Amino acid sequence: MKSNVGKLLSTAAIAATLSTAANAATLDDVKSKGFIQCGVSQGVPGFSNADSEGNWTGIDVDACRAAAAAVFGDAQKVKFTPLSAKERFTALQSGEIDVLARNTTWTYTRDSSLGLDFTAVNFYDGQGFMARKDLGVESALDLDGATVCTEQGTTTELNMADFFRKHKLSYVPVVVQKADEALAAYASGRCDVFTTDKSGLAAHRSKLANPADHMILPETISKEPLGPVVRHGDNQWKDIVTWAMFVQVNAEEMGITSDNVSKIKSETNDPGIARLLGKEGDMGAQLGLPADWAYNVIAQVGNYGEVFERNVGPSTPVGLPRGINNLWTEGGVMYAPPVR
């Protein structure tokens, strides 16, 4: 999801003041209270979604669990705060949450003017359109005159306006406050088309009564690199959240999984794996973490491929292919710096 730049700039005035709060080490605060407070969506299957008993799952949820495994050696030491698109940045700026992991797009304005820092991209995405198959359209270029539902407080509105203007098409926007309200408006027939990130479209389609009656049109109209966000000014905390993701990518590339990590750690003669898993070097100390921090991330949360497959992969209701989120060695763009 992408915040409306114009609306977000109203928060920039407080961002400079609030960002100084990050100078007080977030890691110390997190250790003191005994958990990470993680800002998530109000329900996007595969990314951050709670079941009827309040158990959270998803790629973004796992980003916070990975950070908890790194800090505490316990991936369950996380509490979740559901946030709307309009609320999310203020919640992070004010210190209400320690990290924002809410399918949030890394943009120039967000990175430079809100007192926030993006960490690592955990999903490469792009905005698209979903329509009923009986609408009879095969392309977004067929949407002249369509009524289009979207969520308030996101740059989805701006991307949508740019697309229709560029192609000289008319449309009627239906803008609502929450993603579920946009989906409900679409499901009720209030609009012809629903637009958001393509991963979000796949997630929301899984909630519809008859998902097979709806199609995601082929066009991708924007770049949407999604990932966790932290407050500007606390480099240690940013590094911890970033590298909790990077070690998962490195682990997948090295063939290390949650199932085999213990065996590999005990038997490896590979210096790179030994450094990653804390058998050699002082990698943990450099972040203020225990030597086995990366081992705990992999053992408890898994490598990136495991996280992807169990949350949004082809065998899940969301049903996404790896695509560009595959490793760089497998034709994708997922790449992490080495641990050395």
- pLDDT (tens digit per residue) in 216-241: 999 999 999 999 999 999 999 999 99
Helix (H) or strand (E) holding 194: strand 193-197
How much is the pLDDT for 112? 95
Distance from C-alpha of 27 to C-alpha of 122, rounded to nearest angstrom: 21
Q: Which residues in the chain show pLDDT less than 50?
A: 1-23
Helices in 178-234 by DSSP H: which ranges?
Answer: 179-187, 198-205
Burial class from Cβ neighbours inside 10 Å (0-12, 13-18, 19+) for residue 247 reads buried
Q: What are phi and psi of 118, to 5 degrees?
A: -85, 150
Pick from 233, 190, 272, 177: nearest CA to 18? 233
Pair 92, 100: CB distance under 8 Å = yes
Distance from C-alpha of 21 to C-alpha of 25, rounded to nearest angstrom: 9
- What percentage of the chain's residues is helix, strand, coil (to nearest 5)? 45, 15, 40
How much is the pLDDT for 177? 84
SS (H, E, C) 14-42: HHHHHHHHHHCCHHHHHHHHCCEEEEECC
* Domains with residue ranges and CATH for the chain: 5-124+225-242 (3.40.190.10), 127-222 (3.40.190.10), 245-330 (no CATH)
Q: Is 211 helix (H, G, I), strand (E, B) or coil?
A: helix
DSSP for residue 141:
G
Pair 251, 202: CB distance under 8 Å = no
